[in-house]
Amino acid sequence: MGSFEQKKQDPWGCPCETNTRTDLSLYPDFTAEIEAIKKAKGITAEILKKIIAKHLPNSSFNRSLYRRYMGVDVPIYHRSKRFEDDPNAINNKINNDFFGDIVNFFTGYFAGKPIGYSYSVTQESEDDTGSKEAVEEASKALTDFVTRNNMMDVDMETAKYAAVCGYAARLFYHDSEGSERVLAVPPYEAAILSETDITEPFAAVRYFPVADLDGKVTWHAEYYDADKIVFFRGDSAENLTLQDKEKHLYDFCPLQGIPKNGEMMGDAEKALLAIDAYDRALSDANNDVEAFAHAYMIFEGQIDDEEITRGQKAGAFRIPPMSSAAGSRGPVYFLTKDVNDAFMEHHLDRLEKNIYRFSNTPNLTDENFSQNSSGVALKFKLLGMETKCGIFQAKMTSAGTYMFKLLASSWAKRKISADPLQCSMEFHRNFPLDLASEAQAVQALISAGLPERVAFAQLSFIEDVDWVMQMIEAEKDGIPDLPKDGASQDAGAREEIGENPDEGELNLDDATLGQG
pLDDT by position in tens, the chain (length 516) = 343 343 444 445 544 445 788 888 999 999 999 999 999 999 999 999 999 999 999 999 999 999 999 999 899 998 887 766 666 678 889 999 999 999 999 999 999 989 999 999 889 999 999 999 999 999 999 999 999 999 999 999 999 999 999 999 999 999 999 999 999 999 999 999 999 999 999 999 999 999 989 989 999 999 999 999 999 999 988 899 999 999 999 999 999 999 999 999 999 999 999 999 999 999 888 887 776 655 677 777 677 778 777 777 777 777 776 655 545 556 776 766 666 778 888 999 999 999 999 999 988 777 666 555 666 667 777 888 999 999 999 999 999 999 999 999 999 999 999 999 999 998 988 877 667 777 888 888 888 888 888 888 777 677 667 778 888 888 877 665 555 554 444 444 444 444 444 444 444 444 443 443
pLDDT, residue 499, reads 47
User: How far, in Å, CA of 91 to CA of 513, rounded?
Assistant: 116
What is the dihedral sign for C-alpha 180, 186, 189, 192? positive
Map residue 258 onto helix, strand or coil: strand
Decide the pairing of beta strands 180-185 and 167-174: antiparallel
Q: Which residue, among 96, 100, 91, 11, has the nearest Cα to 59 in the 3D structure?
A: 11
Across 134-215, the runs of DSSP E, i.e. the strands, are 167-174, 180-185, 190-193, 203-211
The dihedrals phi and psi of 128, each to the nearest 5 degrees, come to -75, -30
**C-beta separation of 148 from 181 below 8 A:** yes
pLDDT, residue 322, reads 61
pLDDT, residue 223, reads 98
The dihedrals phi and psi of 377, each to the nearest 5 degrees, come to -65, -40
Print the SS3 string covering 360-380: CCCCCCCHHHHCCCCHHHHHH
Map residue 169 onto helix, strand or coil: strand
pLDDT, residue 18, reads 54
**C-beta separation of 210 from 222 below 8 A:** no
Q: Which residue, among 311, 199, 333, has the nearest Cα to 256 in the 3D structure?
A: 199
Exposure string for 239-250, b = 16+ CB within 10 A, e = fewer: ebeeeeeeebeb
Beta bridge partners, 221, equal 207, 232
Residue 425's CB is within 10 A of a number of other CB atoms, namely: 18
Map residue 23 onto helix, strand or coil: coil
Amino acid at residue number 105: F
**C-beta separation of 435 from 416 below 8 A:** no
pTM above 0.85, yes or no: no
User: How far, in Å, CA of 26 to CA of 62, rounded?
Assistant: 10
Give me the torsion for CA of 12, 18, 22, 27, rounded to 10°. 50
| Run of H or E residues at 425 | strand 423-426
pLDDT, residue 303, reads 76
User: How far, in Å, CA of 481 to CA of 98, rounded?
Assistant: 62
Map residue 149 onto helix, strand or coil: helix
- How far out from the chain centre does Cα 165 lie? 10
CB neighbour list of residue 258: distance below 8 Å, 6 or more residues apart: 158, 162, 167, 168, 169, 170, 198, 199, 395, 396, 399
